[in-house]
Structure 1
Amino acid sequence: MGGTVTAVSTNGEYAFTKPNRPGITLLAGLGVEGDVHAGVTVKHRSRMAQDPTQPNLRQVHLIHEELFEEVAREGFTVRPGDLGENITTRGVDLLGLPTGALLHIGPEAVVEVTGLRNPCVQIDAFQDGLLKQVVGRDETGAVVRKAGIMGIVKAGGPVRPGDAIKVEYPDGPHRPLERV
């Protein structure tokens, strides 16, 4: 199973969206070089307020480009980087991956999937009503988060649009993704 990187984005300042770049560099154990969320410990403001010493399980944010098409059918316009992701993908069922899956991206980089992004109200500040499109409930009433996945960098390297993504599943029973 594999897919493709369609865009890469990074921002050195806290902002909801991230500008697209011709390429980014992933740094093992840290995240995206030059990105405000890179680091060994958590860098998201709300999580730093709770406990700034907790490990950063959100070094890299990935979103599937197919989500943009889904929300477009409901009248929303979302482009790569708009929701703060670092890597936009196509052809990989990101939300269906198990915890611990490895994403081999481009010639060198490897990202270990840690969990689901927990979308916040900033999404509605970006486009009113969008939050309900990326967080909903299934037929049993369980919360469904569709705003991408988070991961940590296991092996660094360059990542560019057009790079291949190969999925490596962990051994043993697979644990479904939970919010991180």
Structure 2
Amino acid sequence: MAAVVESVSSSGEHTFSKPVRGSIRLLAGLGVEGDAHLGTTVKHRSRVAVDPTQPNLRQVHLMHAELLEEVALAGFAVAPGQMGENITTRGIDLLGLSRGTVLGFGRARVEVTGLRNPCAQIDGFSQGLLKQMVYRDEQGGLVRRAGVMGVVLAGGLVEPGMAVTVAEPAGAHVPLERV
């Protein structure tokens, strides 16, 4: 199955969920046009409080539709955009990508910087959902499943139905860590 964009979302406000749009425009070095997380420096409120000059490694939030389907089997109804993602994909194991992987959406390019760190707001959206997004595996390792974050290398329009290309970086696989 070819990788595709299933849905796109953005919000100019710092809200947990983002409304689904017909398209979004990615701006190189900045993020999603009109989104509250647009910019070269960090926009996530807790990180701004610590150091507002940090580089914004979270310009674009991506989540795979298969995760939404998986949590639905556990009794949680989550639609695209409701977890705050900008781009919902299908056919890509986003969580298994190497740091530095470049995803292509037409002319637009997004470099994957790391994992989204799930927070308590997820349970505010739907009680118990946080345990689906972050847990300890059998070896005691922390598993984060709330999507990946990236920075925009090349801008362009992204809309549902677009093919997604995946370009892994040269060298050894570097597992994603939280950003």
Shift of 1:81: 0.3
1:139 corresponding residue in structure 2: 138
> Does residue 177 of structure 1 match 2:163?
no
Unaligned stretches of 5+ residues in structure 1: none
In structure 2, give the amino acid aligned to 1:174: H
Identity %: 66
Matched position secondary structure for 1:17? coil
2:59 equivalent in structure 1: 59
> Which digits, 9 at most, give the CA deviation of each residue in 1:52-96, with x for residues without a partner?
000000000000000111111111000000000000000000000
Runs of 4+ in 1 over 4 A off after TM superposition: none
Q: Give the length in aligned residue pairs.
A: 179
Matched, 1:34 2:34: yes
TM-score by length of 1: 0.98
| Cross-structure match for 2:108 | 109
2:66 and 2:167 map into 1 onto residues whose CA distance is 21
Residue 151 of structure 2 corresponds to 152
Q: 2:122 corresponds to which residue?
A: 123
Report how far residue 2 of structure 1 moved: 5.0
Q: What stretches of structure 2 of length at least 5 have no aligned partner? A: none
Task: Provide TM-score, normalisation by structure 2.
Answer: 0.98
Q: 1: CA distance between counterparts of 2:132 and 2:169?
A: 30
User: Which residue of the partner structure matches residue 24 of structure 1?
Assistant: 24
CA-atom RMSD in angstroms: 0.9
CA distance in structure 2 between the aligned counterparts of 1:132 and 1:120, rounded to whole angstroms: 10
After the TM superposition, which residues 64-79 of structure 1 pair with which residues of structure 2 at under 5 Å, given as runs?
Answer: 64-79=64-79
